[in-house]
Amino acid sequence: MYPGLLKSPQREKSSNAADSEDHRSLRKKGKHASSTENRRMVWENVVWPLVLDINRSYFSLKEYHEKRNAFCTDTGTLPSKVAGGFVSLLIKGIITRNKNIYSIHYRLIPYMRKKAPLEYGLVIREVNTKH
């Protein structure tokens, strides 16, 4: 009757083996990996450069928006992606908020004073280390 409708799963699998390999290589990252990537991007390209530029451990929402907009314009990154990373930094406790003033975690201030490049991995270790 209709030869294409009654294919066995094994036959379908072998005929589409190349397609499934392509699909696996294009698989998107999981939710956790995407959040980490967004936090890392925002920290290393927006927040930390902003803190070093203004040379203090806190910044206003306006200062953050200016730095974020410059980053988004330069790289073509969507502001919504940056916003998600920023909120995630707040949730992790790397940045704290008091009204319209945002502060970096107190354990990161010595790095700011030394104007050290501070990668996200070290930030996480510093913030989560208990002394």
CATH number at residue 105: 1.10.10
Domain assignment present for 66: yes
Would the pLDDT of 95 be above 90? Answer: yes
Domain assignment present for 70: yes
| pLDDT tens sequence across 61-90 | 999 999 999 999 999 999 999 999 999 999
Domain assignment present for 8: no
- Parent domain of 107: 31-128
Domain assignment present for 13: no
**Number of domains composing the chain:** 1
Would the pLDDT of 94 be above 80? Answer: yes
> Which residue has better confidence, 27 or 32?
32
Going by C-alpha positions, the residue among 74, 68, 37, 58 that lies closest to residue 108 is 58
Which residues touch 103 (CB under 8 Å, ≥6 apart)? 57, 58, 95, 96, 97
What CA–CA distance (Å, rounded) separates 73 from 46?
12
pLDDT at 21: 45
| pLDDT tens sequence across 96-125 | 999 989 999 999 999 999 999 999 999 999
**What is the pTM (predicted TM-score) of this model?**
0.75
